[in-house]
Amino acid sequence: MFGFFDHRRQPDIRRIGPQSAQDCAQIHAQSFAHSWSQADFESLLAGRDVIAEAAVAAGPWGKSRKLAGFVLSRLVVDEAEILTIAVAPRFRRRGVGSALLATHLASLAGRGAKVLFLEVEAGNHAALALYAQFDFHQIGERKAYYRKADGSSEAALMLRRDFV
Ligand SMILES: CC(C)(COP(=O)(O)OP(=O)(O)OC[C@H]1O[C@@H](n2cnc3c(N)ncnc32)[C@H](O)[C@@H]1OP(=O)(O)O)[C@@H](O)C(=O)NCCC(=O)NCCS
């Protein structure tokens, strides 16, 4: 059936390029208050230092269709930073984020990454739980870093993961 993952097997994770910018922008807009445009993604996904992977939702009869989630990192020499990771709301809590991150970590390690950084909102419990499963640890905090639509603010936590 279109749009569902078979829970008995891992989602299909693929490298993506600028042709996936529209799908990424759509999922990003569903996931963050301050969304990035299709043009933003086109330019990021064309970057030589950007490594991007996506989970592909299976269509009818096994045909691949839309993206269910994606992750983008920038790798400079042996230091990487996750720029963004998101799973479309209807595909969440099915292991897509974990599968994306596991594959992405292996890709980064294969390209020589020794350390990986990211920033996350202090109140983003789903993301923090995901990162904890992958051995990220907090190395800093920027108070009142994220401005919310209602005028309030939230701290950004800086996390780090070492590849050993
Ligand atoms: C964070 C996000 C990518 C997780 O994707 P997902 O596909 O739902 O994650 P998974 O199903 O693989 O879950 C992996 C683990 O993450 C944690 N997790 C995911 N969603 C959670 C939730 N709503 N509440 C608490 N923990 C959650 C759990 O530890 C989970 O493991 P478990 O299923 O064994 O309990 C997704 O919620 C998302 O896209 N959020 C909006 C964008 C975002 O916040 N990105 C991170 C910015 S730093």
Whole-number Å distance, alpha carbon 128 to ligand 1 midpoint, is 8
- Beta-strand relationship, 115-121 and 153-162: antiparallel
CA 65, CA 156: separation in Å to the nearest integer?
34
Residue 114 maps to a domain = yes
Q: What pLDDT is attached to residue 153?
A: 92
Residue 29 maps to a domain = yes
What is the SS3 assignment for 92? coil
Whole-number Å distance, alpha carbon 93 to ligand 1 midpoint, is 6
Residues spanned by the domain of 153: 12-162
Could you identify the atom of ligand 1 that is nearest to the CA of residue 119?
48
* For residue 10, pLDDT beyond 90: no
pTM of the model: 0.93
Q: What pLDDT is attached to residue 64?
A: 59
Identify the band that residue 2 occupies on the pLDDT scale cut at 50, 70 and 90: very low
Residue 106 maps to a domain = yes
Catalytic residue among 119, 121, 145, 154: 119
Total structural domains within the chain: 1
CATH code (residue 100): 3.40.630.30
Identify the band that residue 6 occupies on the pLDDT scale cut at 50, 70 and 90: low
